[in-house]
């Protein structure tokens, strides 16, 4: 993990102690979201699925794993923001 990314995560979790960080998915972080009540870390769903595929999952298995065990696991205050990106970026 780069120092810049480490610093960003540290700053975000200091700004809002409820912010959730997904262990093992730091390379999928694309930024953060601040609104009037909370801060959350933004992750690329595409990148999370690629990380899961590196664990010998098919695309379908990785998509199901994301939906069932990552996206639905985090609810409430500080929930990560998940962003689907097209091939051309945001």
* pTM summary value: 0.86
Q: Kindly state the average pLDDT of the residues 57-69.
A: 96
Q: Report whether pLDDT(82) > 60.
A: yes
Q: How confident is residue 85, by pLDDT bands cut at 50, 70 and 90?
A: confident
pLDDT band at 86 (very low <50, low <70, confident <90, very high): confident
Q: What is the mean pLDDT of residues 16-43?
A: 90
Question: What does pLDDT average to over the chain?
Answer: 89
Q: In the chain, what percentage of residues exceed pLDDT 70?
A: 94
Q: Where is pLDDT greater, at 89 or 54?
A: 54
Rg (CA), the chain: 13
The span from the CA of 57 to the CA of 53, in Å, is 5
């Amino acid at each position: 993990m780069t120092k810049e990314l480490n610093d960003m995560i540290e700053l975000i979790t200091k700004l809002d102690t409820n912010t959730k960080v997904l262990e093992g998915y730091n390379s999928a972080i694309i930024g953060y979201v601040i609104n009037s009540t909370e801060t959350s870390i933004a992750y690329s769903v595409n990148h999370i699925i690629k990380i899961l595929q590196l664990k010998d999952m098919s695309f379908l298995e990785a998509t199901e794993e994301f939906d069932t065990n990552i996206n639905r696991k985090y609810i409430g205050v500080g929930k990560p923001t998940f962003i689907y990106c097209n091939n051309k970026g945001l």
